[in-house]
């Protein structure tokens, strides 16, 4: 079994990747997308989004981070993929799943699922530009308006040369509304040869079990569930045991996960990184953003969020973090 940390624009950046991979259970990360239009980006752009490239392409905990590119021009994507591959990444990921309207209006992300021939052309060009020993992977949804071309799109990615495909088990029209249609990943698996990775609506170990059973995938990608519960990957690993090549089962009651006191330690480290690396205008919002997710799983996070949600003065946040049981230097 392997667990991958999802790319989430505006949320799962290098700061949160650092924190969540320190917790454990994550085997690989995919960066938030790097938008490619009509130019070869300078190395500093890739480093800004994936500073892990400066340390061999891994987080401080040693977990590989695969940069993700978003665009629709095969030649330009190929040029940029070759550049970032040469900077030490273990491979390059391609975004065919972003549902954002501003991205889709410009022909990127999930909008490309309406054109399987272009999917093929993009992956083929990128695969030719990236050294053979490095992976070219892709992330897709089940479709744009509906899922009628899901298998066709996955086959186009495979034939273009993608070595693995993440399938977010919803269409662009579905957005992030539950449920995720994990059984449709199994339909795709029946037609493609490359490994598939299941993604979407995995909030706990029971969800992970059901997703594996319905999708037939051993490897999962976690996004909002991991942000809300930083111990989720460890819970899934601890609660799973192999019983067949394509399925695992949940054994016993849910694992207790990280105690709030443990999460507080990671919040302190998170705040230290935010204060050190992000612009002042972003700092308060980033901590409120994470607390907003954490309150789904931790009642004390709800209390903290309610007390801080209208604050903008970082000194108030400094004081709140300093009052937590351990400081960042003890992580």
Q: Provide the mean pLDDT of the chain.
A: 93
User: Is 228 in the same domain as 267?
Assistant: no
* Among 231, 250, 269, residue at a domain's last position: 250
User: Is 204 in the same domain as 277?
Assistant: no
User: Is 233 in the same domain as 278?
Assistant: no
* Per-residue pLDDT tens over the stretch 2-19: 999 999 999 999 999 999
* Among 198, 224, 250, residue at a domain's last position: 250
User: Is 273 in the same domain as 186?
Assistant: no
Q: How much is the pTM?
A: 0.92
Tokens of 230: 């930083």
pLDDT given for residue 247 in this prediction? 36
Confidence of residue 331 (pLDDT cuts 50, 70, 90): very low
**Cα–Cα distance between 1 and 26 in angstroms, integer?**
11
Please report, for the domain that includes residue 32, its CATH number: 3.20.20.70
Confidence of residue 276 (pLDDT cuts 50, 70, 90): very high
User: Is 181 in the same domain as 325?
Assistant: no
* Per-residue pLDDT tens over the stretch 187-243: 999 999 999 999 999 999 999 999 999 999 999 999 999 999 999 999 999 987 553
Q: Does any domain span residue 255?
A: no
What is the signed CA dihedral for 158, 162, 167, 170, rounded to 10 degrees? -70
User: Is 30 in the same domain as 80?
Assistant: yes
Q: Does any domain span residue 278?
A: yes
Question: What is the bridge-based pairing of β-strands 28-35 and 3-5?
Answer: parallel
254: pLDDT strictly greater than 70: no
Q: CB–CB of 95/7 below 8 Å? A: yes
Q: Does any domain span residue 46?
A: yes
* Per-residue pLDDT tens over the stretch 28-45: 999 999 999 999 999 999
Q: Which of 95, 104, 119 lies closest to 34, judged by CA?
A: 95
User: Is 197 in the same domain as 297?
Assistant: no
Confidence of residue 248 (pLDDT cuts 50, 70, 90): very low
Q: Which of 286, 281, 311 lies closest to 319, judged by CA?
A: 311
328: pLDDT strictly greater than 70: no
User: Is 128 in the same domain as 41?
Assistant: yes
User: Is 264 in the same domain as 238?
Assistant: no
* Per-residue pLDDT tens over the stretch 109-139: 999 999 999 999 999 999 999 999 999 999 9
Share of the chain above pLDDT 90, in %: 88
Give first-to-last CA distance, the chain, whole Å: 27
User: Is 135 in the same domain as 215?
Assistant: yes
Q: Does any domain span residue 218?
A: yes
Q: Kind and range of the H or E element at 236?
A: helix 232-238
Confidence of residue 326 (pLDDT cuts 50, 70, 90): low
Helix/strand/coil percentages in the chain, nearest 5: 45, 15, 35
pLDDT given for residue 256 in this prediction? 53
252: pLDDT strictly greater than 60: no
145: pLDDT strictly greater than 80: yes
* Among 221, 250, 279, residue at a domain's last position: 250
Name the maximum alpha-carbon separation found in the chain.
56
Q: CB–CB of 4/221 below 8 Å? A: yes
Q: Show the domain range for 182.
A: 3-250
In the annotation, is 58 catalytic?
Answer: no
User: Is 181 in the same domain as 202?
Assistant: yes
Mean pLDDT of 179-185: 98
User: Is 235 in the same domain as 324?
Assistant: no
323: pLDDT strictly greater than 50: yes
* Per-residue pLDDT tens over the stretch 50-80: 999 999 999 999 999 999 999 999 999 999 9
Q: Does any domain span residue 52?
A: yes
- Give how many domains the chain has, as a whole number: 2
Q: Does any domain span residue 244?
A: yes
Catalytic residue chosen out of the listed positions 29, 76, 98, 153 = 98
């Amino acid at each position: 079994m392997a667990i991958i940390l999802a790319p989430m624009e505006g949320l799962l950046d290098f700061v949160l990747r650092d924190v969540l991979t320190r917790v454990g259970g994550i085997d690989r990360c995919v960066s938030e997308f790097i938008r490619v239009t009509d130019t070869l980006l300078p190395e500093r752009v890739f480093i800004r989004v994936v500073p892990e490239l400066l340390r061999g392409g891994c987080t401080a905990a040693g977990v590989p981070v695969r940069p993700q590119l978003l665009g629709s021009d095969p030649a330009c994507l190929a040029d940029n993929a070759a550049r970032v591959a040469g900077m030490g990444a273990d491979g390059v990921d391609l975004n065919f799943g972003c549902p954002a309207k501003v991205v889709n209006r410009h022909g990127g992300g999930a909008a490309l699922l309406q054109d399987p021939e272009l999917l093929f052309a993009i992956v083929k060009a990128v695969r030719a530009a990236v050294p053979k020993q490095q992976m070219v992977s892709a992330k897709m949804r089940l479709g744009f308006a509906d899922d009628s071309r899901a298998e066709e799109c996955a086959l186009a990615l495979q034939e273009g040369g993608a070595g693995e495909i993440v399938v977010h088990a919803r269409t662009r029209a579905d957005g992030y509304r539950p449920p995720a249609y994990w059984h449709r990943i199994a339909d795709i698996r029946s037609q493609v040869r490359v490994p598939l990775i299941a993604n979407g609506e995995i909030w706990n170990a029971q969800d992970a079990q059901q997703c594996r059973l319905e999708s037939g995938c051993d490897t999962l990608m976690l996004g909002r569930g991991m942000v809300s519960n930083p111990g989720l990957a460890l819970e899934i690993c601890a609660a799973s045991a192999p019983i067949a090549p394509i399925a695992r089962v949940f054994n016993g009651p849910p694992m207790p996960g990280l105690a709030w006191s443990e999460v507080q330690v990671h919040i302190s480290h998170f705040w230290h990184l935010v204060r050190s690396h992000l612009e002042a205008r972003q700092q308060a919002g980033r901590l409120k953003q994470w607390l907003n997710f954490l309150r789904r799983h931790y009642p004390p996070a709800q209390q903290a969020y309610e007390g801080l949600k209208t604050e903008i003065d970082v000194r108030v946040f400094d004081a709140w973090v300093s009052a937590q049981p351990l400081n960042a230097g003890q992580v």
